[in-house]
Structure 1
Amino acid sequence: MIKLENKIVISGTYCAPEITDLTIDIQRPQWSQRLLVSCSPEDAVSRLEQLYVVCRQSQKTAAMLALGIEQQTVLARQRVVLETIEQLLWRMAIDLPHFLALGSGAEPFSLIRRYISCQLAAEEMSWNRCNELVQTLAAFFKLMLGCSVCELLCFDRDQFNRWLNQSQAMLAVCLRQVKAVAYAKQTKASYRLMPTNVVEAQGEQLLHSILTGTGGADRSFCQQPLLKGKPIETGPLAYMQQQPLIQQMIEFNDHPLVVRYSARLLYLATLIDSQRIMEPQGIAGVYSAPCSGAETDRAVNGTDSTSIKKDSLTAGQHYRMSWVNSVRGLLLHVAAVKNGSVVDYRICAPTEWNFHPEGALSQLVTGLTGAKVVTLKSAIELSALAFDPCVPFAVDLVEAENEGRLTNDFIRRNTEKTVSQEKMNEDSDA
């Protein structure tokens, strides 16, 4: 197993009751060009599988599509959906309650995880097994929320708030705790959300930016991506931005952390459906840019194997850009293959969008206040957890009055969690 050290450092100065001088630094090298160039497409996919643990299926599917490996594309998409369900459950049923010292649903989740692992290892999925899994997931969902999948999806804002304020189910208690701990300013929350059709509408711009563009602070686009010059939030909230309850919560300026955690639950609820798993739509695809003489750009749902040729980008090389709506947000891979070998490879991951120094997390954290540095530190951790980074993170605050430093141990806990999950993945693979 190839392992690389990656982390996110969130630092700032605490000037009661706010944070100043906030910085967010993603310490993750852009290694894909170095590690994948000169590999065959099949070897490149295999190497990516070794590099990624928590988002393995999404990365593998994106790589297969970018490299033109078209075998088992339906199965690959099914696996992305299963991985998304597993990761959403992990974060909401294990990580969030554990962080809030409220226990967790670890025991029933471990049974579900083994069931999902078996499905991920299977060469094909059957409707019967899928239906069994959905029934099990629906029962666990109701156990953790105290309401069914259908009930949650039908909630309006008043019904949701009654559930939030009255239910004694684990996740209702968690969200009440989140709402109480993270003190937000009484100003209108700002959301810059990734458009749901961004690849179809702006694929040409994204492709060009990945290959030739720069992000902020002289970083490459893949390190600090921008859309039309601005950092954009991707992930469950962006996926669910047209959902009526989410629209109402945003309109009424509900607590931004509650909005984001609720979006994760709603997105999970939409996936607990046999048809969504067996016949996934809008999960992954290949962007097709116009070759010579083409009139329009378009994005297709993984059925077009046309290579991308853009002489204005890199002369003589054919590029394919794949996209996956992963659990953390929009994942983009761009690849060029010549004479059977990879000659260029770029990855633009959702964590880089959400943890951009001027992005969604930065906006959210600068809107937080706390009477004590410990309270604010906890709010920052909960905010970062809401975006589900794919690497460990640390929060480092300096108190302005006495320059005392408060460095949390979350990176250690999150690293242990990642290692634990990796071990579970290895056990499942075995």
Structure 2
Amino acid sequence: MASADVPVEGSVRIQVVWDGARVDAARVTSRRPQPQSLLHGRELVDASVILPRLYSICGDAQGVAAMALEALTTSGELDPPATQPWRERLRLETVREHLWRLGLDWAQAAGFEPFPEPVKSLLSAREGLLEDRDMAAGWARQTRDALFGTARPARIDASVPESLQAWIEHADTPLAGLLRSLAGRLEGVGRARFSPLPSGCAEWLLADAARRLRSDPDYHWRPDVAGQVFEMGPAARSSGGARLNDGRRVSGPTMDAWTRVVARVFELERLLDALENHRPAMGELTGWRDEDAAVVSVEMARGVLMHWVRLEAGRIADYRIVAPTEWNFHPQGACREGLLGMEAGGEQELEERVRLHVMALDPCVRHELEVSRA
């Protein structure tokens, strides 16, 4: 039914003008399906059942957001006890996405032998991991050892620029081997100014988004705050003044594909560490409402996910989702910034560099590339 009512396949369209040596102009358009036609006229509680099935890639994040939105509009309580099991699902979903991207997608891109075992074991044991904390801790410990060995990056002195490089060069794990294969290919790819979402601004973001979503029917396709377009994802989350262990500041003026991949690796290690040591799933959950509408945001694998609803007579009149992909692949977002000035010795090399740049920004939909000669 969902596929008949809502086209679940979206896409990112990338158009570049190339002069044979560098990209002179770039246009990025993101079109992800919205659930409005499917949810219109329904009770809000239905959204938390329908949306996780509709958006399979990030279904648990969609469930958390929809459940929190329903609670906020009915009781004023943003984070009821019912959302707690979903938080654990969301944490495992984020781990799954990182394992999949690194062990399968990036391995394939690097021509490296895939290492699917961690994500396969997670998928097969997920329900047990959710129910048994000790089982989850054991799985996390085993996975950390397999991927990171004994010299895990989080335990390397972040103030020493050579520390990550030493681990990559000497660790005998598939993840370190993958990074050895990727480093030379990703450094400098898509390098551009870095504009992460500032920490502590969730309520400000939601209040502005609620106003814009009500008045602008296209806001969810090109979100901004006062003209600013922020980057979402692991690199943005780790940008609170910290350094990546290759010595470059995550919150510095530029970002490239290599640093984004390293940020994903560090976040994966932190998530596994939290599971191993029985620390609860956190995940920032924020909400805002007025008389007939409400909006919530939740941190998920790719960044901040927002759900907005407007109600009439207690039923859904309008429902829209702003996903991280719409920020990173905004017409003035991080994808376009990294494309402008991108150099390549030939069209095939250009296509490869664009592909790596897009992969590092991790859209939740496929992308299409069109190259025009200047």
TM-score class, shorter: 0.7 to 0.9
Number of the residue aligned with 1:138: 144
Task: For 2:93 and 2:198, locate their aligned partners in 1 and report how far apart those are by CA, in whole Å.
Answer: 23
Aligned residues: 360
| Residue 322 (structure 2) pairs with residue 348 (structure 1) | yes
Which of 243, 246, 255 is 2:244 aligned to? 246
The one-letter code of the counterpart of 2:280 is E
Aligned to 1:50: 53
Q: Are 1:321 and 2:321 matched, yes or no?
A: no
Structure 2 residue 147 is matched with structure 1 residue 148 = no
Q: In the alignment, is the contact (CA less than 8 A) between 1:58 and 1:326 conserved in 2?
A: yes
**Secondary structure at the residue paired with 1:244?**
coil
Could you tell me which runs of 5 or more consecutive residues in structure 2 were left unpaired when the two chains were aligned.
Answer: 73-79
CA deviation profile, 1:347-404 (whole Å, cap 9, x unmatched): 111000000121101111224211122112111101101111111112232345xxxx
The amino acid that maps onto 1:285 is L
Residues 1:256 and 1:166: Cα distance change in structure 2 (over 3 Å): farther
Q: Does 1:196 align with 2:199?
A: yes
Distance across 1 between alignment mates of 2:128 and 2:132: 12
1:226 CA displacement: 0.8
Tell me the distance in 1 between the aligned counterparts of 2:261 and 2:181: 12
RMSD: 2.8
| C-alpha distance in 2 between matches for 1:335 and 1:275 | 37
Q: What percent of counterpart residues are identical?
A: 22
User: Mapping of 1:22-421 within 5 angstroms?
Assistant: 22-29=26-33, 31-68=34-71, 70=80, 72-119=82-129, 125-142=131-148, 147-148=151-152, 150-151=154-155, 154=158, 156-165=160-169, 167=171, 169-182=173-186, 184=188, 189-213=192-216, 220-242=218-240, 244-246=242-244, 248-250=247-249, 256-272=256-272, 273-274=274-275, 279-281=280-282, 283-288=283-288, 308-309=289-290, 317-400=291-374
TM-score normalised over the length of structure 2: 0.86
> Shift in Å at residue 132 of structure 1?
1.9
Residue aligned with 2:219, SS: coil
Note the C-alpha offset of 1:52.
0.6
Distance apart, 1:126 and its partner CA: 3.5
Q: For 1:237 and 1:399, how far apart are their aligned partners in 2?
A: 33
Between the aligned partners of 1:258 and 1:209, the Cα distance in structure 2 is 34
- Counterpart-to-counterpart distance in 2, 1:19 and 1:364: 10
Q: Which residue identity lines up with residue 158 of structure 1 in the other structure?
A: E
Partners of 2:277 and 2:286 in 1: CA distance: 20
TM-score (norm 1): 0.75
Distance 2:194 2:324 in 1: 16
Tell me the residue number matched to 1:407.
Answer: none
Alpha-carbon separation, structure 2, partners of 1:359 and 1:380: 15
Deviates more, 1:267-276 or 1:55-64: 267-276
Distance 1:174 1:371, change over 3 A: farther
Mapped partners of 1:53, 1:66: distance in 2: 19
Q: SS state of the match for residue 230, structure 1?
A: coil
Find the aligned partners of 2:304 and 2:200 in 1 and give their Cα distance: 11
The CA deviation at 1:192 is 0.7
Distance 1:183 1:390 in 2: 23
Query: Cα gap change, 1:242/1:228 in structure 2, threshold over 3 Å: closer, same or farther?
Result: same
1:323-359 superposed Cα distances (whole Å, 9 cap, x missing partner):
1101001001112344442222121110000001211
Q: Which runs of 5+ in 1 are unaligned?
A: 215-219, 289-307, 310-316, 401-430
Q: Could you say which residue in structure 2 is the equivalent of 1:300? A: none
For 1:368 and 1:332, locate their aligned partners in 2 and report how far apart those are by CA, in whole Å: 31
**Aligned partners of 2:372 and 2:109: how far apart in 1?**
22
The 8 Å contact of residues 2 and 38 in structure 2, kept in 1 or not, is answered as: no
Where 1:397 maps in the other structure, the secondary structure is: strand
Deviates more, 1:344-353 or 1:12-21: 12-21
Query: Quick check: 1:196–1:238 contact (8 Å CA) kept in 2?
Result: no
For residue 266 of structure 1, what is the amino acid of its counterpart? F
Partners of 1:93 and 1:140 in 2: CA distance: 12
Deviates more, 1:239-248 or 1:71-80: 239-248
Letter in 1 for 2:117: E
SS in 2 for 1:246: coil
Give a deviation string over 1:116-167, Cα, whole Å, max 9, x none. 3544xx5xx3432232232133123226xx8425435757322113334555
- Paired amino acid for 1:9: R
